[in-house]
A and B are shown apart, each in its own frame.
Chain A
């Protein structure tokens, strides 16, 4: 079984203030740490589990700048066999559908049995790449997968619906499966893994080598155009209590008491 896992390198913004840069179209990234998009870790884990059971190879695929190779090395250290970086030169302004098209161009060139993705990139939050990629390839897909079973010529996926119930679905192979978080426990890279990762193959491609023309991608290829990024206005903001921890807690306790909340 040859399995690809699409991974994205994203800034870790959960606990940092985000500032929009002067262009108004991007965030200031110099003080941010970068990580593998979290759902992609679950997708990778699922691929590694599958390989442990039924053999084969796991290939990481990412569209990004040179720095993306740092997260690809982490994925290789966790156990992926090979990595491919599609350089993002010429891709500025590409929307999720265009990026799915770029990935599709790669998957048309190479033979894979399965392509795994995360369900959402936690920075731009499109949740479009997996299903769109499948459609470009003419393959079936499943979004928000949390369980995956490989059968003879097909796969069985449990995908999460609202309220936590699961839809059980059978898909022909090859197919694209987009993983939600929580279905497994992503492993950490071992010291040995990190050492081995240094010598594992990391291929570099660009859009020309995938047979794509510049006007199919970027701004011109995209049907959505970013106008600006901004901090959303909040209509009803909380009353923020001031003072030392003791003072703030006392105020909360008084409110809870007065409102009879306990």
Chain B
């Protein structure tokens, strides 16, 4: 009985979520009385594979020129065979741009159960029971998943990586499938997010605004407040989607990860994709009219009230304090 974790990497670097999954996967493998194994695919991933042997007792490394860029198609080819041969009970991958592209299609091909956004799992009575988020983080659900194998897509930036250093075994996996012909998709390139204005990852104080601000015109007093305390105004995804702030001001998993001294969240519910980008702030203050908003779980201080009432008073009080 084993747990297999698909390592995620981009541009030659292993992504953090891989270490998070390996830490969580180790606990699960232990509960199952089973083994933990990492799989890494790429065109030239020896160095990364050997780095992973410090975190997993066994690392299976499959190299092939066609695996240079992630594609669910080529990954699927290799993994279908690998999973059938190695028969893990649980196949773990990140709930990420990679995982969400690959996981569901793999589940269909393998006729396997799959769960997304997984934040906890247990092996009880030969059954996998997982917990996952729903409704923007306001609810969790427990589900049982058939393991043939069970495909588990793990929430990013959630599990804590463990600083263990072991010396695992490196297994070379021969990728001899034809990965070049019959493909229905082609990778054409990556376009990085360009930054033309302020680099928000460098600011000490950030005022984050969410959909709770309701209208573009309401952004003005918030911007004035941010200016008055020397803060940079950033936003949650919906504010950026609406075009009220440029993409480079978006905080979260599909935006920027920030670690300011102070983050003031105004009308942001606290979906995990947002939290992933700002939970590293030293101090977090949240203003939200909903006392159950998940943002209050990561904030240090909370005000349950209308942001439009709070902001002008806060601006005045902080200005008085400064002078």
Main secondary structure of the interface of A (DSSP, over half): mixed
Contact with B along A227-255 (1 / 0, CB 8 A): 11111101111111100011011101101
CA distance A127 to B273 in the complex (A): 14
Say if the beta carbon of B238 comes within 8 Å of chain A.
yes
Say if the beta carbon of B133 comes within 8 Å of chain A.
yes
A199: min CB distance to chain B, Å: 33
The 21 sampled A-B contact pairs (Cβ below 8 Å) are A13-B136, A14-B211, A122-B135, A128-B100, A132-B107, A162-B156, A164-B250, A166-B190, A166-B191, A185-B243, A223-B113, A229-B139, A232-B140, A236-B297, A236-B298, A238-B302, A246-B313, A248-B303, A256-B318, A261-B283, A262-B318
CB-CB nearest 9 A-B residue pairs: A223-B113, A182-B241, A140-B184, A238-B302, A164-B193, A238-B299, A234-B297, A135-B108, A128-B104
- The answer to whether A168 touches B297, judged by C-beta atoms less than 8 angstroms apart, is no
- The answer to whether B104 touches A229, judged by C-beta atoms less than 8 angstroms apart, is no
Say if the beta carbon of B55 comes within 8 Å of chain A.
no
A182: min CB distance to chain B, Å: 4
CA distance A229 to B131 in the complex (A): 9
Query: Number of A residues whose C-beta is below 8 Å from B?
Result: 85
Task: Give chain A residues whose Cβ lies under 8 Å from the Cβ of B255.
Answer: 163-164
Say if the beta carbon of A96 comes within 8 Å of chain B.
yes
- The answer to whether A227 touches B302, judged by C-beta atoms less than 8 angstroms apart, is no
Task: Give chain B residues whose Cβ lies under 8 Å from the Cβ of A252.
Answer: 285, 301, 303, 314, 317
Task: Give chain B residues whose Cβ lies under 8 Å from the Cβ of A127.
Answer: 95, 100, 104, 116-117
- Which of A58-66, A84-92, A141-149 sits within the interface? A141-149
Contact with A along B105-142 (1 / 0, CB 8 A): 10111011111110000000000010011111111111
Task: Give chain B residues whose Cβ lies under 8 Å from the Cβ of A261.
Answer: 205, 261-262, 283
B240: min CB distance to chain A, Å: 7
From A119, A161, A240, give the contact of B304 (CB < 8 A): A240
- The answer to whether A122 touches B136, judged by C-beta atoms less than 8 angstroms apart, is yes
Closest to B189 in A: A168
CA distance A53 to B30 in the complex (A): 57
Task: Give chain B residues whose Cβ lies under 8 Å from the Cβ of A122.
Answer: 135-136
Closest to B69 in A: A167
From B156, B247, B318, give the contact of A164 (CB < 8 A): B247
Given A158-B191, A261-B283: A135 and B104 interface contact (C-beta under 8 Å): yes
A102: min CB distance to chain B, Å: 13
- The answer to whether A223 touches B101, judged by C-beta atoms less than 8 angstroms apart, is no
- The answer to whether B73 touches A223, judged by C-beta atoms less than 8 angstroms apart, is no
Residues 1-52 of A at the B interface (beta carbon under 8 Å): 13-15, 17-18, 20, 27
Contact with B along A120-137 (1 / 0, CB 8 A): 001111111111101110
Given A96-B104, A122-B136: A225 and B143 interface contact (C-beta under 8 Å): yes
A208: min CB distance to chain B, Å: 23
Say if the beta carbon of B230 comes within 8 Å of chain A.
yes
- The answer to whether A135 touches B105, judged by C-beta atoms less than 8 angstroms apart, is yes
- The answer to whether A128 touches B96, judged by C-beta atoms less than 8 angstroms apart, is no
Say if the beta carbon of A209 comes within 8 Å of chain B.
no
- The answer to whether A253 touches B241, judged by C-beta atoms less than 8 angstroms apart, is no
Say if the beta carbon of A259 comes within 8 Å of chain B.
yes
Say if the beta carbon of B145 comes within 8 Å of chain A.
yes
A240: min CB distance to chain B, Å: 5
Task: Give chain B residues whose Cβ lies under 8 Å from the Cβ of A182.
Answer: 237, 240-241
Task: Give chain A residues whose Cβ lies under 8 Å from the Cβ of B299.
Answer: 238
